[in-house]
A and B are shown apart, each in its own frame.
Chain A
């Protein structure tokens, strides 16, 4: 698993079967299947992220190097963290966002992500938050890199 910025899209591989090779700014390499409509959409999204210098959250199969999950981290500040009595998650208020965001207590990295979010709230520093596509469940939190050279302000 890597949260990393896509750098370039290269031609189809030859000896290893059909593939679009993706190289990330971190140096990691991954593949997409050009025969999969879903992967072709992912390639378009990765190109869009590369062009706008935005990060990507990807999960990569360590055996095949194919990307198995692509999500979009977003830069937020943490306005509040609310404990939900008897609930299996905590609610996180992010800015700018009007969605309700949830950090599941059952997530294996709950403690680590909660600590990062709480520190960002106290220190008013931005974080990169990644959520699942079908809900507002937080799956990854990282300190946001400097905005130097980025388009977003």
Chain B
């Protein structure tokens, strides 16, 4: 068993992998298509292990097999169905004893215990099989020491993500799969390098309302959106806000129009 790391170190390694997330519309190589959960986990896991090993860590892998059903807002129909799945693992020191934690940015925003990872995959009877990091595909016992197959498979799923994002579904996340959080007035989609106007009416003029536009489509590396707010006193008691959103990037972006009432 490899030596344990702290939870802080596990989070650092998670962030190392997650920082490689693909912008879904441009998917520049060598990004990892975490936002295409449908398929390709074995290549994502192998690439994540490579990154962690290069950073001095000693990951392993865990393979789950069963009738897996996972809710995901990164697939247009909100449900991912798998026969198996794989992700890297780390031994994490929890109160002096090692516990297996899973690094899986396609499902979580942080390292999670192996039990938590299994529990969200919809099959309590699913079986878990650990393996060393060098196993590329468990059931054939194959390895990919040069990462040539890993890179070819990642390229395929980057293209899948790109095609989906350019199509009628647009880029993830898919807001039909999401519950609108409090303080969110609307979800929007704006094309690359475009400027678009939205309005929202019936706001009491006595309220002090501030507006914020938050990209929902991850794309690290540069600013994505900017916005301006104009207001119209539509009646003696109510206001209409006109919100102009500008996409600074070449990629389609889904976003949330948020508000806060300060008084």
Contact = CB atoms under 8 A, between A and B. Distances in A.
Interface of A: 37-38, 41-42, 44-45, 48-49, 52, 54, 70-72, 74, 93, 95-100, 133-136, 151-153
Contact of A70 (B38, B140, B153, B163): B163
Contact of B38 (A41, A49, A54, A99): A99
Interface in B68-113: 76-77, 80-86
Contact of B82 (A42, A72, A99, A134): A99
Q: What band does the interface of chain B fall in when counting residues whose beta carbon is under 8 Å from A?
A: 35 or more
B62 interface: no
B148 interface: yes
Contacts of A38: 166-167
Contacts of B153: 96
Interface in B153-167: 153, 155-156, 159-160, 162-167
Nearest to A46: B159
Given A98-B83, A98-B85, A153-B149, A42 B166 contact: yes
B173 to A, nearest CB: 15
Nearest to B160: A72
A45 B191 contact: no
Given A95-B137, A98-B41, 15 more contacts: A37-B191, A41-B163, A44-B162, A45-B162, A45-B163, A49-B159, A52-B155, A72-B159, A96-B42, A98-B83, A98-B84, A99-B38, A133-B160, A133-B169, A136-B81
A48 B26 CA distance: 12
A56 to B, nearest CB: 10
A72 B157 CA distance: 9
Nearest to A99: B39
22 contacts: A37-B166, A41-B25, A41-B162, A45-B163, A52-B155, A70-B163, A71-B163, A72-B159, A95-B139, A96-B42, A96-B153, A97-B39, A98-B39, A98-B84, A98-B85, A99-B39, A100-B82, A133-B169, A134-B76, A134-B77, A134-B169, A152-B149
